[in-house]
Amino acid sequence: MALTGLEVFKLLPNTNCRECGFATCLAFAMRLAAKKIEAEECPYLSEEAKEILGASAVPPIRLVEIKSGDKSVKIGEELVMFRHEKKFFHQTAFSVCIDDSEDEREITEKLEKIKKINFERAGEILKLDLIAVKDTSGDKQKFCKTINLIKNFIDLPLILFSENPEIVTVGLEEIPDDKPLIYSANNENWEKMTELAKKYNASLAITAEDGLKGLSELSERIKNKGFENIVLNPKCRSLTEILTNYTLIRRLSLENNYRNLGYPIILYLENEDNFINSAVGICKYASIVVFNDVNDWEYLPLLTLRQNIFSDPQKPLQVEPGIYKVGEPDESSPVFVTTNFSLTYFIVSTEIEGAGFSGHLIITDAEGLSVLSAWSAGKFSGEIVGKFVINSGIENNISHRNIIIPGYVAVISGELEDSLPGWNVYVGPQEASDIPSYLKEVWSKEN
């Protein structure tokens, strides 16, 4: 568990000897708590302090990596219960399950679909991360054949979905250079599974009856064998239980420094209520979601939800500066300018389109700030906006010279007219929601 500066300070000798290079022990403690320096730089640390500080340096939730070639999925190493406290670091990995009892044609169809899922949204690519291969057939050959079929078709890291160590062995042998996830070890097979995971550099999901207690006991036994790349699969009978168990696992590891459950969580969705359960999983601490099946129309909302929840609350999402087409603009369509805060961009473009208009939307580089913040930070002045408009080349695309600015920065209109000779500056509404009435009532009458 991370310690605060003051907690670290209490462990220091408090002699202010300056041998570490800092004027006081308190200054050293602050830097150490911020992980800017190493504890060893203090020559007088007691053994006890070293131990506590050493333990605090180990992340409370272990980072687990699932790999294939240069494709790597990292999960875990989360530090907070609520995203506003810092952020959620590693987004929920999405996996679709392929059943080895299905025939080749069905599997290929499924894989083709998976491959196509690739949406660009707010400057990010949204797609699936993993493929799970399930040993329904119970036939080693079929399992291997399915693995090969997948690997030839698509390069994603795999989850080997089987509780049979023999089947897992042949699967691992098919992909000796990968680091797959084995799903899963239980109270019967765990010794063999742990050996396999160790030998093949895989990570290991563990399943136990008897709630968190069973899970904790199993993870401890595996850890005592010297293996720690563990993923937890808490068995849950209801949505409430998912929410409760996942919350408690996160809380125990972050706030109580409870090591046996300090691992990422996997949620396997068999069939019913997939959509809702996965939405809950995304918000509430599932590191991997495995779908038996997903409907086409569910991908975009789920991937968008994941993008929302895992965005950095301190760092606004940005869109690339440039000229964006809203609808199907022509040379007489209005020109709007605003900042590259992605929410601003989305809302403004939605309102223009929603009003039944097309337009050219110029997005300036305001470091992702909203209009008012960008203006007060000096990143949305008349001069900056004017230069950006000229350099954007918009003048080649339009027959008029009219530009609409956000109402909140009405003050820049004079300066903007100075830096855009020959242009007319229109002050639009303050709120994007008033764009439709502005376009209908003001713009249309004057243009």
Partner 1 sequence: MEIEIPIKKWSGKIRAVTIGTEKNGITIGGEDTLPFHHFEGSIPNKPIIAFEVQDIYPSDWLDVVKEPYGEYLKNPIEWAKAAVVKYNADMVCLNLLSTHPDRENRSADEAAELVKNIISEIDVPLIIKGPGSSEKQNQVLNKCGEAGAGKRCIIASAVEDNYKTITAACQAYGHIVVAETPIDVNLAKQLNILISDMNFPPGRIIIDPLTGGLGYGLEYTYSVMERIRLQALGGDAMLQMPFICFVGQEVWRVKEVKVDESVEPLWGDMKKRGICWEAATAITLLLSGADILVMRHPEAINIVRKSVGRLMEK
Contact residues: partner 1, CB under 8 A: 82-84, 116-119, 121, 212-213, 216-217, 238-240, 243-244, 247-248, 251-252, 255-256, 258, 261, 273, 275-276, 279-280, 283-284, 295-302, 304-305, 307-309, 311, 313, 343, 346-347, 349-350, 353-354, 437, 441
Compare residues 39 and 432 and give the one whose CB is closer to partner 1: 432
**Nearest-approach distance from CB 283 to partner 1, in angstroms:** 5
**Nearest-approach distance from CB 216 to partner 1, in angstroms:** 6
CA–CA dist 167, 174 (Å, integer): 11
**Nearest-approach distance from CB 447 to partner 1, in angstroms:** 19
**Nearest-approach distance from CB 387 to partner 1, in angstroms:** 29
Please name the helix (run of DSSP H) or strand (run of DSSP E) that holds residue 307, with its range, or none: helix 296-309
Helices and strands counted in the chain (H then E): 17, 17
Compare residues 150 and 282 and give the one whose CB is closer to partner 1: 282
**Nearest-approach distance from CB 259 to partner 1, in angstroms:** 12
Compare residues 92 and 162 and give the one whose CB is closer to partner 1: 92
**Nearest-approach distance from CB 287 to partner 1, in angstroms:** 17
Closest CA to 236 of 225, 249, 245: 245
Compare residues 196 and 212 and give the one whose CB is closer to partner 1: 212
Structural contact between residues 278 and 291, judged by C-beta atoms closer than 8 angstroms: yes
Q: How many residues does the chain have?
A: 447
Cis amide prior to 184 (ω within 30 degrees):
yes
Buried b (16+ CB within 10 A) or exposed e, 122-141: beeebbbbbbbbbbbbeebe
Task: Write the CB contacts of 439 (distance below 8 Å, at least 6 apart in sequence).
Answer: 334, 352, 355, 357
Compare residues 104 and 312 and give the one whose CB is closer to partner 1: 312
**Nearest-approach distance from CB 75 to partner 1, in angstroms:** 20
Structural contact between residues 19 and 12, judged by C-beta atoms closer than 8 angstroms: no
Compare residues 255 and 331 and give the one whose CB is closer to partner 1: 255
Compare residues 156 and 279 and give the one whose CB is closer to partner 1: 279
Tokens of 292: 């038996």
End-to-end CA gap in the chain = 62
Task: Write the CB contacts of 265 (distance below 8 Å, at least 6 apart in sequence).
Answer: 231, 232, 233, 234, 246, 249, 285, 286, 287, 288
